[in-house]
Copies of this chain bind each other. A is one copy, B any other.
Amino acid sequence: MWTVKVVSLGVVGLSLSLELLFWLFSRRRSERVTNKVLFFPSKVACVEHIFSPTLPHSHVCSLPHGVDTSFSRLLRYILSACSSLDLCLFSFSNMDLSRAVLLLHSRGVTIRVLTDKVYSAISGSQIGVLRKAGICVRCDVSAVHMHHKFAVVDGRMLITGSLNWTLTAVQSNMENIIITEEPDLVQPFVKEFCRLWGLNDSAQDLNSVTD
C-alpha cells in the first residue's frame, strides 16, 4: 500500500514539475523572441555614445545627449551583430549607418552588401566607402530596381521596412522599421538574400575587373 502511495505521489510531483518547466520554457521563449517596431522621423540626437560607450555624455557637440531615439535603437540592433550582417539595400547614404557597418567590419563580423546599381553611384552613396574598406559588395545589375531595405543580423534577426538607409529617411520622412526574430519571417529573407547574392555572382566578378 505504501509503495502505491509513494509511486502515485511521485508521479503527481513529476507531472506537476514537467508542467511548470514546460510553462516556464514557453514563457521564456516568447520573452526571448524580439518583435519590435520603430517609427521615423527620428528625433535628432547625438549618437557618439553608441559608437564609443566609454565617452561621457557631455562631450562637445550641439545635439541633445543621452536621448533614446528610433535611430539610436536601430543603430544598437545593427551593432548587436556578432558573426554576420547581410544588407540588401536600395539606397545607402547615411553616414552613421555606414560608420556602424565599418565598425562591425573592424570587429571581424562578416558583412555582405547587395545594392541597387543605379543608386550605388549617386552622390553621397556609402557603397564606395564600404568597398574601399574591404567589405564585400555586390550590385544588382538587372534592368529593374533592387528596392529592398532589409538587414539580417547573425542569420537570426531581421530588420526591414520602408526606411532607406539615407539621412532624409531617418530625419525627415514618415517611415517604419520592423525588428523581428520570428523564424517564419526571418528565414524567407535569409533564403532570398542567398538567392539574390548568388544571382549577382558573375556580375560581381565583372565589377571587380572594371572598378
Contact = CB atoms under 8 A, between A and B. Distances in A.
Interface string A115-154: 0000000000000000000000000101011111110000
B35 A184 contact: yes
Of the four ranges (under 10, 10 to 19, 20 to 34, 35 or more), the interface on chain A belongs to 35 or more
Interface string A1-32: 10011001101100110110011001000000
A72 interface: no
28 contacts: A1-B1, A4-B5, A4-B8, A8-B12, A12-B12, A15-B15, A15-B16, A15-B19, A22-B23, A35-B182, A35-B185, A37-B184, A37-B188, A37-B189, A37-B192, A39-B192, A142-B174, A144-B173, A145-B172, A146-B173, A147-B174, A150-B176, A160-B161, A160-B176, A160-B178, A161-B162, A176-B189, A180-B182
